[in-house]
Every structure is written in C-alpha cells, then in structure tokens.
C-alpha cells in the first residue's frame, strides 16, 4: 500500500516530508520520493529503495528548497520498482507534481489519448497520466485543472498535487487521505501515523472530495467544487503508539499490548453490566428480519471471522458462513435484504474486502464493518461500524488487530443472542464478567509462555508444520498457521483434526511436527485420539491445552498451557502463545519480522 504525505508551511518542506515517509514505511514499499516548491519551480528527488536512500541523496532533504511539498512511498502495481517509476511524477511542463495511492483503472485509454495529443511519458505507471491531464486542463487556475482532471479518472485514488505556483491539493476517491491541521502549517497523509507528530486535529476526506491547503487554511470541496464544512476529529493516540517503545520489533510490542487493546475495545461498550454498541442500532423488526449472516474478510481477519462464526451460531442460532472476500466477490452470491454481511478488516482498505462489500451491498445486504482504522474506506461504506480500538498496528503480521476483532465478535454474539431472547440473564452476566476478566487472562497467557523461545529454538528448523484442532480450536489453528508461515516462511497449514485420516495423514512421517490445539473441551477426547494417530506415525506433538488439563501430558511431547476462560473466549487466550511461537521461530531464522518478504500491511490492490 503506497504512502502519501503533503506539507505547506513556513519551514523547509523536504525534511518534514521525509520524516513523514519514515512513519509510513511499515506499509511496505519499494521506492520513495519528494517534490517541493516555493512557487516558481518544482524541485524533486526520487529513488528506488528505501526512505534512507532518499534521505542520503538529499542530505535528509536539506538539498531541496521549498516550503510546500509532497512525498510518496511506492508499492509497485504498474511498472517495475525503479527510479523512473517512483513518485512524484511531473507534467511535461514541470508545473505539476503528483503522488498517488490506488489504481487509475482507465489509465491505458488516458495514456493513449494523451500520447495522441503529443505528451511524452517517462514512466510505466498509471499515475503519470494524472500529471499530464493537469497540464492539459491548466488554464491559469490550478483548482479548475484539478477538478477537470478528477472528472476523467476512474478507479481508486488518493492524490497529492503540487503546483509550481505554490498551490497544494489533496484528492480522495476510495483510498484514504487525511488532512492534518497545524498552526501556521498544514499537512495531509494517507495514514494518521504521519500526522500525529505534528497534530492530532484531523479531517477525514470522503470519496469525491478534494482540499486545497495553505499554511493558514484548509478548504474542502465537493466534486462540484463547492466548499463543504467537515468535522475536525481528534486522534486518540500518541506518537509513541506508532513507535517500537523499546521492543526489538513492532510485532512483539503489539503482542504485549493485547491486554490493553482488548480492554480499550471492550470496556467502553459495557455500561451498567450491559453490552452497548455506539453505531449498531437495529430495530427489533430489522434484527428478526435477518435470516443469515455472512462474514467476509481476507487473511487473519477471515480467521477471526471463523472464530466468530462458531460463537455466533452457537449463541444466536442463526446460519453464519465465512467467505473469503476474494472468492465472495466473484461468486454471484445469493444475498438479499435478510442477509447481514459482517466485514472485518484491520486497515479498512483491503481491495478484495471492499469489492466483496460493494457486491453484497448492491444485492441488498445490511453491512456491519469491524475495522481498526477510523475513517477508512470500509468504515465509510458500511451501514454500521464497530471499531476495534487497538491503536495503530505497524507490524505486517496482525496480532492485536486479530484479537480485538475476535473480542468484538464475541460481544456482538452475546448482544445479538440477548436481543433475540436466546440468552438467560445468568449466562449473560457471567459472560460480561468474563469479558472484564479477559485482559488479565491474556496477560496470563503471555506470562505462562515467557519460555516459548525454547520451543521456538527446538522447532525452528522444520520445513513443514501441521496445525490440527476441532471446532474453535480449528479456527485458531488457521490463524496460528498463517502467523508462522508469513513471518518465518515455514510451510504451515491448519487441518480440521477429523480430516487427517481423509488424506493429510499421509504426509505425517517420522519427525513431523504437529501442533495440536486441545482447548475445546467438548471434543477433547477426539483430539486426543488424533494426537495418538499422528504419534503412531512418528510425529512429534506440541499441544496447546488449558491449564490443569494434565491428561494431555500423557500424549504430547511438549505442551503450551493457556489460562482457562469462558469457553467462547478461549481462542483469544490460545492465539497469544501461537503468536509468540511464530515470532520467536522467525527470530531464530533471522527473518524480517515486521516487514516479511512479498507482504504489505494493507493489500489495497487485487
């Protein structure tokens, strides 16, 4: 996912922009650049590689003079990662510089038209068409050129536009762009993390809107160029939240933050012993009109949905399915106004999830979003939003994002079951009490596994690791396997334990490592049988079991114990040691834990 920053003020812009880009590095990228101006010429530097390379060639921006500017970190979609394809892109006359996040779907036709008009393209990117369109439509008024250009673009984009006359614009269409309000200076960025060092007062642009920024003013316009009033939001977290805080990696920090993030997500939604949601106000008629729930997401968010599915079906007695967004969007699904679609996304910007959401919304589904980023595209498109309050998640491998998603799904299931008259008061109160106790249980899951590095050292040389479990254990296996493979690059897969004998057990041989989750007590004996099955074929078994479950010691070679919680909340405690196991295995293997190869924090392209 590309990163965008913009600045206008009385300070030199380049150092501010480069610092902003550093705070967006976690999103994954392959090149970086900045363009600045003082009203006259545009000075630009861009380079394949990292922000530190950009800083080196510009002496941390000191070589570039100008108090207005734009910056970009690029995650290549069109055109290889190289200096030429890096952003910003200039118009032929050098008057405009542009940075872009998203995809201009109709860029090929626009490129053909512009080439026919005599424009010469320097790069292979879709973005460059924007720079030349601005030049084509410029008649002395940069704002009008911006509007006319926007009218020609199709697709998703957030754009920063710098004009050599010193004017600075930000444009948003289906890709996040946030304005930062300073004193004598103003900013924009694709992510609040780049703004927080300067200001906590922000404005979230909506699709179709654009803004002009000067050092003393920020004006937002609608698609017709009419000024619109926008609310100023206050960012609730500090710069430190987006920094490592003394941990070796963001991922470890974010694992350790989970007790606090769970509390921040849950506690504000329990008032006088009752679960309340700030933006989920179905009438009884609407609620009883729902006859099925589809949960859609990608990656770990979909695995959080797998946990939610078991719990929601169990408590609410309503059919719930989990559909990978990349499949759901193309499946011509049978959806109507009686379908509730629950969309889960940490970033709120995952392209496949957005597309699936649009598809289902168009077919009449009522959409509830569970997202972590305020003002994100998914949050804005949904009928209802329940935010996870995990704070900024920097590591590509999600941890606190996942557990707070599960926390919201747990609360939602309890809330809906109660609204549907399916929950006795005693059980409701017991579950609410257990929610209050969960931060302590998560901390205990961390404390019980301070020595998990020993297990990681023992098992880090395996080339394939099988996760097996049943019911909720199986759902957690999916997340445990993904964590391991995405940061340690070890082949790992989750299998429903009951499925082993239908083929997969053929893979189990002397020395295979099987991680068996055995916390779902109604099926504990079945899982124990599966452990015996794989052991009989020479496997080594690392089990995950509830504290006090001593029977497991008779079968498993090693055991990770987790605290006993309300059964429906076990997944939240269980996943923590699996996160730590993946982290320490990756560390043993010398992997780039916070920025795993080939991965980005938010997959905003298909």
Which of the residues 48, 555, 595, 601 is marked catalytic?
A: 601
Among 125, 258, 265, 300, the residue binding ligand AGP under the rule CB under 6 A is 300
Tell me, what DSSP letter sits at residue 77?
S
Full DSSP string of 416-450: HHHHTT-S-HHHHHHHHHHHHHHHHHHHHHHHTTT
Using the rule CB under 6 A, give the single segment among 141-149, 225-233, 341-349, 361-369 that binds ligand AGP. Answer: 341-349
Beta bridge partners of 344: 370
Torsion angle of alpha carbons 384, 390, 395, 399, nearest 10°? -90
CB 437 within 8 A of CB 263: no
Sign of the C-alpha dihedral computed for residues 455, 459, 461 and 466 taken in this order? negative
Region near ligand AGP per CB under 6 A, out of 11-19, 213-221, 230-238, 292-300 = 292-300
Q: Which stretch binds ligand AGP (CB under 6 A): 283-291, 333-341, 360-368, 391-399?
A: 391-399
Least distance to ligand AGP, CB of residue 581, Å = 14
User: From the CB of 23, what's the least distance to ligand AGP, in Å?
Assistant: 18
Stretch that binds ligand AGP, among 131-139, 263-271, 299-307, 510-518 (CB under 6 A): 299-307
Nearest position to ligand AGP, beta carbon: 299
From CA 474, how far away is CA 467, in angstroms rounded? 8
Helices 570-588 and 425-447 pack at an angle, to 10 degrees, of 20
Please tell me the distance from the alpha carbon of residue 561 to that of residue 547, in angstroms, as a whole number.
5
Establish if 298 lies at the interface with ligand AGP (CB under 6 A).
yes
Least gap, CB of 475 to ligand AGP (angstroms): 15
Cis peptide, bond prior to residue 487, ω within 30 of zero:
no
Structural contact between residues 309 and 295, judged by C-beta atoms closer than 8 angstroms:
yes
Strands 384-387 and 366-371: parallel
E strand or H helix at 121? none
Nearest distance from C-beta of residue 583 to ligand AGP, angstroms: 12
Name the segment binding ligand AGP (CB under 6 A); options: 253-261, 297-305, 356-364, 586-594. Answer: 297-305
Contact status, residue 410 vs residue 388, Cβ threshold 8 Å: no
Does residue 2 have an active-site annotation? yes
Q: Are strands 68-74 and 3-8 parallel, antiparallel or unpaired?
A: antiparallel
Joined tokens for residue 9: 């003020």
Q: Which of 339, 398, 565, 574 binds ligand AGP (CB under 6 A)?
A: 398
Q: Which of 37, 443, 602, 604 lies at the binding interface for ligand AGP (CB under 6 A)?
A: 602
Which CB sits closer to ligand AGP, 36 or 298? 298
- Please, what is the minimum distance in Å from the beta carbon of residue 350 to ligand AGP? 3
> Looking at 61, 71, 299, 480, which residue binds ligand AGP (CB under 6 A)?
299
Q: Please identify, among the stretches 102-110, 306-314, 339-347, 576-584, the one whose residues bind ligand AGP according to the rule CB under 6 A.
A: 339-347
| Of residues 33 and 348, the one with the C-beta less far from ligand AGP | 348
C-alpha 478/C-alpha 283 separation (Å) is 35
Residue in 4, 301, 534, 543 binding ligand AGP, rule: CB under 6 A: 301
**Cβ closest to ligand AGP, residue 37 vs residue 405:** 405
Among 158, 353, 388, 449, binds ligand AGP (CB under 6 A): 353
Q: Which is nearer to ligand AGP, 181 or 397 (CB)?
A: 397
The neighbour count for residue 597, using CB atoms within 10 Å, is 10
Distance of closest approach, residue 393 Cβ to ligand AGP, in angstroms = 9
Query: Which of the ranges 75-83, 269-277, 316-324, 393-401 carries the binding residues for ligand AGP, by CB under 6 A?
Result: 393-401
Residue 396 within binding range of ligand AGP, rule CB under 6 A: yes
Q: How far is the CB of 173 from ligand AGP (least distance, A)?
A: 19
The tally of CA atoms less than 13 A away on the side-chain side of residue 603 is 17
Per CB under 6 A, the list member of 85, 127, 350, 549 interacting with ligand AGP is 350
Q: How many CB atoms lie within 10 A of CB 538?
A: 11
Convert residues 479-498 into a mask of x (bound to ligand AGP by CB under 6 A) and - (unbound).
-------x------------
127 binds ligand AGP (CB under 6 A): no
The residue among 34 and 298 lying less far from ligand AGP, judged by its C-beta, is: 298
The yes-or-no answer on residue 601 being catalytic is yes
- Could you say whether residue 199 binds ligand AGP (CB under 6 A)? no
Residue 527 or 602 having the CB closest to ligand AGP: 602
Q: In the Cβ-directed half-sphere of 190, how many Cα atoms lie within 13 Å?
A: 32
**Residue 560, beta-bridge partner list:** 544
Binding-site residue total for ligand AGP (CB under 6 A)? 15
Cβ contacts of 546-555, under 8 Å, gap ≥ 24: 546/519, 546/521, 546/570, 547/448, 549/518, 549/519, 549/524, 551/524, 552/518, 552/528, 555/528, 555/531
Residues that bind ligand AGP (CB under 6 A): 298-301, 345-347, 350, 353, 396-398, 486, 602-603
Indicate which residues carry an active-site annotation. Answer: 2, 601
């Amino acid at each position: 996912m590309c990163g965008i920053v913009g600045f206008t003020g009385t300070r030199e812009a380049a150092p501010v922009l480069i610092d902003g880009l550093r705070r967006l590095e976690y999103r994954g990228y392959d090149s970086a650049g900045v363009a600045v101006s003082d009203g006259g010429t545009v000075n630009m530097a861009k380079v394949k590689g990292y922000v530190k390379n950009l800083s080196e060639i510009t002496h941390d921006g000191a070589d570039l003079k100008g108090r207005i500017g734009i910056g970009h970190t690029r995650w290549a979609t069109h055109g290889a990662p190289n200096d030429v394809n890096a952003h910003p892109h200039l118009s032929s006359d050098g008057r405009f510089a542009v940075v872009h996040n998203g995809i201009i779907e109709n860029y090929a036709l626009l490129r053909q038209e512009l080439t026919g008009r005599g424009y010469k393209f320097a790069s292979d990117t879709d973005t460059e068409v924007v720079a030349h369109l601005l030049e084509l439509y410029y008649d002395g008024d940069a704002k009008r050129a911006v509007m006319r250009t926007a009218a020609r673009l199709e697709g998703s984009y957030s754009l920063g536009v710098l004009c050599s006359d010193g004017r600075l614009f930000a444009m948003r269409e289906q890709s996040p762009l946030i304005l930062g309000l300073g004193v004598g200076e103003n900013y924009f960025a694709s992510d609040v993390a780049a703004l927080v060092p300067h200001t906590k007062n922000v404005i979230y642009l909506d699709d179709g809107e654009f803004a002009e920024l000067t050092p003393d003013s920020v004006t937002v316009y609608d698609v017709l160029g009419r000024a619109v009033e926008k609310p100023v939001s206050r960012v609730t977290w500090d710069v430190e939240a987006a920094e490592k805080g003394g941990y070796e990696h963001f991922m470890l920090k974010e694992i350790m933050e989970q007790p606090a993030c769970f509390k921040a997500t849950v506690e504000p939604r329990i008032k006088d012993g009752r679960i309340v949601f700030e933006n989920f106000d179905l009438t009884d008629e609407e609620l009883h009109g729902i006859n099925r729930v589809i949960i859609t997401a990608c990656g770990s968010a979909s695995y959080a949905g797998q946990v939610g599915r078991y719990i929601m079906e169990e408590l609410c007695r309503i059919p719930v399915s989990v559909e990978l967004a990349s499949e759901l969007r193309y499946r011509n699904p049978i959806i109507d106004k009686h379908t509730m679609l629950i969309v889960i996304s940490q970033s709120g910007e995952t392209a496949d999830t957005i597309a699936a959401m649009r598809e289902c919304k168009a077919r009449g589904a009522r959409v509830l979003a569970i997202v972590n980023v305020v003002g994100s595209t998914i949050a804005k498109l949904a009928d209802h939003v329940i935010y996870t309050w995990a704070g900024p998640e920097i590591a590509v491998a999600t941890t606190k994002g996942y557990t707070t998603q599960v926390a919201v799904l747990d609360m939602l299931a309890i809330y809906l079951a109660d609204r549907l008259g399916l929950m006795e008061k005693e059980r409701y109160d017991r579950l609410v009490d257990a929610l209050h106790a969960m931060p302590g249980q998560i901390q205990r899951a961390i404390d019980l596994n301070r020595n998990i590095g020993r297990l990681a050292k023992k098992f880090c040389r395996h080339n394939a690791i099988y996760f097996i479990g049943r019911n909720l254990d199986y759902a957690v296996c999916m997340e445990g396997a993904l964590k391991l493979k995405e940061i340690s690059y070890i082949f790992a897969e989750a299998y429903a334990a009951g499925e082993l004998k239908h083929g997969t057990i053929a893979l189990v041989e002397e020395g295979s490592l099987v991680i068996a989750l055995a916390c779902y007590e109604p099926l504990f004996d079945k899982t124990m049988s599966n452990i015996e099955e794989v052991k009989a074929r020479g496997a080594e078994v690392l089990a995950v079991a509830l504290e006090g479950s001593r029977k497991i010691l008779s079968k498993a070679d090693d055991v990770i114990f987790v605290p006993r919680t309300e059964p429906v909340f076990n997944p939240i405690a269980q996943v923590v040691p699996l996160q730590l196991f993946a982290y320490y295995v990756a560390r043993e293997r010398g992997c780039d834990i916070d920025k795993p190869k080939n991965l980005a924090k938010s997959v905003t392209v298909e």
